[in-house]
Amino acid sequence: MRILYGVVGEGMGHAIRSRVILDELTRHHEVLVVVSGRAHAYLEEALRHRMRLQKIWGLNIVYEDNEVRRFRTLLANARGAIRGWPANVRAYFDVARSFEPDVVVSDFESWSQLFARRHRLPVISVDNIQVIDRCTHPPEILEGHRTDFQMTRQLVRRKVPGALHYHITTFFRPPVSRPRTTLHPPVLRPRILEAVPEDGDHLLVYQTSTTNTRLPALLRDTGLPCRIYGLRRDLEADEVDGSLLWRPFDEATFVDDLRTARGVVSSAGFTLMGEALHLGRPLL
């Protein structure tokens, strides 16, 4: 079977989860991956010898002062689309001509879903975000946030509509409210399953954006050694600044820092949440 697999490029969690699934799919099927953003470099390094990867343009989120800026996000994506959409159209015809998939799998990725709709192919959704739309949430959780929740829910609903089935990874079990939906535990990479937890003294700090300028001072005030990922994207090697150790992303080093962490401080990341829970690391 030929599978077109779409991976959204915002953050790294979608790529890390998809790599685990792709490792299994390529044992029995021919797979082409379409992926955007930083996720492309990660998957290309890991999988380029086993499957074809097609880089596409994808939407991005703009952060300022550690908050999502809706208008700036809209403006940035409108500008990006001027160059991105022509490249995506070329990729569309290339995939249609050279691969001819039988089924599409989407990890919250829209290009592959649109390809499937145009060619009348079945779509299988695999992600954690569909829990917002396809499950029932207690009113006390939504209280004070109903407008934001409804806006987010509509966005999620339109991201991968009409899938044959929705597989949702989750570490909690809300009631399923829509058909063709199944809940699953988080997908963990082999390095995490093989890792042995140890109690260390440091905090592992992971940020999905570079705009939280107040965070370094707050971390220094803890008096604890901190190993920081994601806040600085220009690093090629470790940099030490007192109790702060700035690190470029390296999977083996990151997993070792996680398994030995005293605790985890993270701005986001469902994948990291699942890994921290599995290893018994406290998470803020």
* pLDDT on residue 62: 45
Name the residue among 152, 153, 149 with its Cα closest to residue 141: 149
Asked if residue 202 lies in contact with residue 179, where contact means CB atoms within 8 angstroms, the answer is no
Pairing outcome for strands 2-7 and 30-35: parallel
Average pLDDT over residues 92-102: 77
Q: What is the CATH number of domain 2-184?
A: 3.40.50.2000
Backbone angles phi, psi at 165, to 5 degrees: -155, 150
Alpha-carbon span 193 to 191, nearest angstrom = 6
Q: Which two tokens stand for residue 8?
A: 């959204």
Asked if pLDDT for residue 19 goes beyond 80, the answer is yes
User: What is the pLDDT at residue 80?
Assistant: 53
Domain 2-184 identical in fold to domain 190-279: yes
Q: Which two tokens stand for residue 17?
A: 């989860």
Which tokens hold the place of 208?
A: 């999905």
Q: CA 135, 141, 143: angle at the middle one, nearest 5?
A: 120
Which is more confidently placed, 92 or 99?
A: 99
Q: What is the pLDDT of residue 132?
A: 97
pLDDT digits (tens, 9 = 90+) for 36-87: 878 888 899 888 888 888 887 665 554 555 665 554 555 454 555 556 555 6
Angle at alpha carbon of residue 261, lines to 258 and 265, rounded to 5°: 80
Compute the distance between CA of residue 105 and CA of residue 33 in angstroms, rounded to an integer: 9
pLDDT tens track for 185-213: 999 999 999 999 999 999 999 987 777 88
Residue 178's pLDDT is 97
Q: Which H, E and C letters describe 177-227, residue by residue?
A: CCCCEEEECCCCCHHHHHCCCCCCCCEEEECCCCCCCCHHHHHHHHCCCEE
State which amino acid sits at residue 257: D
Q: What is the pLDDT of residues 122-141, one digit of tens each?
A: 999 999 999 999 999 999 99
State the number of CA atoms in the 13 A half-sphere of 191 facing the CB.
16
Q: Which residue has the higher pLDDT, 208 or 258?
A: 258
Mean pLDDT of the chain: 88
Phi and psi at residue 107, in whole multiples of 5°?
-100, 80
Lowest-confidence pick of 14-28, 65-79, 104-118, 213-227: 65-79
Q: Calculate what percentage of the chain has a pLDDT beyond 90.
A: 68
Report which of residues 92 and 46 the model is more confident about.
Answer: 46
Domain boundaries, the chain: 2-184, 190-279
In CATH terms, the fold of domain 190-279 is: Rossmann fold (3.40.50)
Q: Using an 8 Å Cβ cutoff, are 224 and 201 in contact?
A: yes
Between 84 and 99, the more confident residue is: 99
Q: Which has the higher per-residue pLDDT, 65 or 283?
A: 283
The reported pLDDT for the residue numbered 67 is 60
Question: Where residue 218 falls among pLDDT bands split at 50, 70, 90?
Answer: very high
Residue 112 CA neighbour count, 13 Å, CB half: 33
Q: How many CA atoms lie within 13 A of 157 on its CB side?
A: 10
For residue 111, pLDDT beyond 60: yes
Provide the residue count of the chain: 284
Decide if pLDDT at 25 tops 90.
Answer: yes
